[in-house]
Amino acid sequence: AAADAYVADAEAEPRDEVTLTDFDRDGETKVVATALYAASALPDDQLQRIARRMSAGDRAALLAAYIGDRANRRHRPGRAFERTSYRFDILADYGAFRDLQRHRLLTIEWQPLTTRHGYVEPAAIEEAGALSDWRRVMDQSAELFEQLAAGGLEPIAPYAVVMAYRVRFYMEMNAREAMHVIELRTSPQGHPSYRRICQLMHNAIAEVAGHRAIAAAMRFADHSEVELERLQAERAMEQKRQSRH
């Protein structure tokens, strides 16, 4: 393939689970300018200059007023939040990827599934006393993958990879869609894997991009303890099942 000349001999540099690789440093200011657009008769570039002259506190206050009192995560912000975007490089287990892949109002692309990025090992496996069995299955999956790949069967080798192995992919979305994805996928009922990914995305918007007012607008992003909250949700579901009998 043409790409081999450029990437075949390169080794992947170490990265965290989530890396914010591209964003507009002036994105939050542009969102503020766009929020002002429908409430004024001024041109877009003039509104951007006005937004740049505002203090960070004033911009945050204006965005808070623009969003209003959201009673729940289904209350979406206005179109102004589509003015800026974020691109995240993610290394997550294949199961979490499959759940995040379902979102449509964003761009997502993934690399071939292999066993070479390692796997995620849930703490519950060791608590259940099944760690040795788990690791044996992981090793068997990796061995079968390598055998198929070495035998010239690269297209079908990914079928040997169990979902705990990690895959690299990127997600690119505007702030409005990021609010939807992050608030939905950090809910306590979500799986710990994709909850953690979306919590890290939320942190990156605030800390790396510096878009603290946009991150604060995602008021239903849940950063509570994953395992405890999920256990509570599972217990509630079990009580409902028992009440039906």
pTM for this model (two decimals): 0.87
Token pair for 112: 């071939």
Calculate mean pLDDT across residues 156-176. Answer: 97
Whether the predicted pLDDT of 40 surpasses 90: yes
Higher-confidence residue of 123 and 245: namely: 123
**SS3 (DSSP) at 20:** strand
State how beta strands 107-110 and 18-23 pair: unpaired
The mean pLDDT value of the chain amounts to 92
Calculate mean pLDDT across residues 145-154. Answer: 95
d(CA 50, CA 169): 38
Over the stretch 100-121, which tens digit does the pLDDT of each residue have? 999 988 999 999 999 999 999 9
Whether the predicted pLDDT of 79 surpasses 80: yes
What is the longest distance spanned by two Cα atoms in the chain? 67
Domains, in order of start, for the chain: 16-113+165-243 (3.30.1360.170), 116-164 (no CATH)
